[in-house]
Structure 1
Amino acid sequence: MLTAIVLIDVDAARIPEAAAAIAEVPGVSEVYSVAGEVDLIAMVRVREHDELAVVIADRLSKVEGVVRTQTYIAFQTYSKHDLEKAFSLGIED
């Protein structure tokens, strides 16, 4: 599995709509609205390297309102956080 972190600049008037559209792109696992230098961050997870171009260049970057993308390809994962546990309320089964 290949993971890419995509920083996305969006027309300010289209941020919610662009985020929703990007979240629907096959291969995009999460989209975050963030504070800072960019408007959105998308996590892209695909099986083959060639799929990155399809997901990012052919689909994600063509979503209405997307102005610019910057992509970082992850080489190795050092953390194996269980997100479900990280966001749980501490209630035991």
Structure 2
Amino acid sequence: MRAFFVQIKCELGRAYEVATAIADAEIASEIYSTAGGYDLLVKFYLDEKEDVGHFVAQKIQTIPGIRDTYTLITFKAF
């Protein structure tokens, strides 16, 4: 399994709604609210043969209330 993170910028006042939608979809390992340029930091796991870009475009960016995403690909956990 490959771990990756997505930072999510939400429409004003919708961060909790977006976090709940992600949690309800049962696609994320962990969901955190954050301060700064993005509202949420979400950890996902995908099988090595699955396409991260396709997953983000179809499973995350389609959630109502999301304005922008920034994907961080990870290589090794220490």
Matched residue, 1:76:
76
Mean Cα deviation higher: 22-31 or 1-10 = 22-31
How far has the Cα of 1:25 moved from its partner?
3.1
Matches within 5 A, 1:30-45: 30-45=30-45
How far has the Cα of 1:50 moved from its partner?
2.2
Tell me, yes or no, if the aligned pair for 1:25 and 1:55 is still in contact at 8 Å. Answer: no
Matches within 5 A, 1:38-57: 38-57=38-57
Percent identity over the alignment?
A: 31
Instruction: Between the two structures, name the one with larger relative contact order (CA 8 Å, sep ≥ 6).
Output: 2
Is the partner of 1:24 in helix, strand or coil? Answer: helix
How far has the Cα of 1:51 moved from its partner?
4.4
**Could you list the runs of 5+ residues in structure 2 that have no partner in the other structure?**
none
For residues 72 and 25 of structure 1, the distance between their equivalents in structure 2, rounded to whole angstroms, comes to 21
Tell me, yes or no, if the aligned pair for 1:11 and 1:67 is still in contact at 8 Å. Answer: yes
Matched residue, 2:15:
15
Matched residue, 2:4:
4
Q: Quick check: which has more Rg, 1 or 2? A: 1
* Structure with greater helix percent: 1
**Could you list the runs of 5+ residues in structure 1 that have no partner in the other structure?**
79-93
RMSD, aligned CA: 1.5
Q: What is the aligned length?
A: 78
